[in-house]
């Protein structure tokens, strides 16, 4: 008699096959992110969870904890929108610094009128101290912006998001 019930062994094989497919997709996505200098191509229009946050994109730290988000162009003038408070985190943009690695900077206008920069500092108990002073900037380029973040000393091989909101 043939039944439609799944045997435990068959169920395990199906779940194992699904796990292999998911792992393959994740490794493939991570591999392409690494080939592009460690940055993933994301520029969602909506904030990550909390209101007021804009996600400029994500990047994966390397084996030594170096975070590179080099000269990324986003499709909005963030300075005109007064989104000059920058946060990088391995959690949601509005995630608690007691639960996630969080680094923040209040960007201020430099002598070059369309470039803003600031001191990125660790916030909360999870964030590691930096090895070197990080480099952070935001530049207005018409109706778009460029963002650059370089920091050493973060958790290795971990995705971090670059988030902005009004100060």
pTM surpassing 0.75?
A: no
Is residue 104 within 8 Å of residue 85, measured between CB atoms?
Answer: yes
Report the distance separating Cα 33 and Cα 22, nearest Å.
17
Residue 137 confidence (pLDDT) above 60: yes
* Segments forming the whole domain that contains residue 158: 38-165
Pair 18, 87 in one domain: no
Pair 42, 119 in one domain: yes
Pair 44, 90 in one domain: yes
- 155 is written with which tokens? 């958790």
Pair 124, 149 in one domain: yes
Pair 23, 84 in one domain: no
Pair 62, 125 in one domain: yes
Given this model, what pLDDT does residue 112 score? 80
Pair 27, 45 in one domain: no
Pair 30, 42 in one domain: no
Which three-class secondary structure state does DSSP give residue 86?
A: strand
Q: Who contacts 2 (Cβ-Cβ below 8 Å, separation ≥6)? A: none
């Amino acid at each position: 008699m043939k039944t439609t019930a799944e045997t435990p062994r068959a169920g395990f094989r199906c779940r194992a096959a699904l796990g292999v497919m998911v792992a393959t997709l994740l490794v493939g996505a991570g591999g392409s992110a690494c080939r592009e200098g460690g940055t993933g191509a994301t520029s969602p229009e909506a904030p990550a969870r909390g209101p007021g946050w804009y996600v400029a994109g994500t990047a994966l730290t390397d084996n030594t904890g170096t975070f590179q988000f080099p000269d990324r162009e986003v499709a909005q003038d963030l300075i005109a929108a007064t989104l000059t408070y920058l946060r990088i985190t391995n959690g949601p943009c509005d995630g608690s610094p007691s639960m996630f690695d969080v680094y923040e900077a209040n960007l201020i206008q430099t002598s070059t009128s369309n470039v803003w920069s600031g001191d990125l500092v660790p916030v909360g108990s999870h964030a590691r101290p930096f090895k070197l002073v990080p480099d952070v900037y935001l530049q207005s380029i018409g109706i778009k912006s460029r963002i650059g973040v370089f920091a050493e000393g973060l958790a290795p091989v971990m995705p971090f998001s670059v988030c902005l909101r009004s100060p």
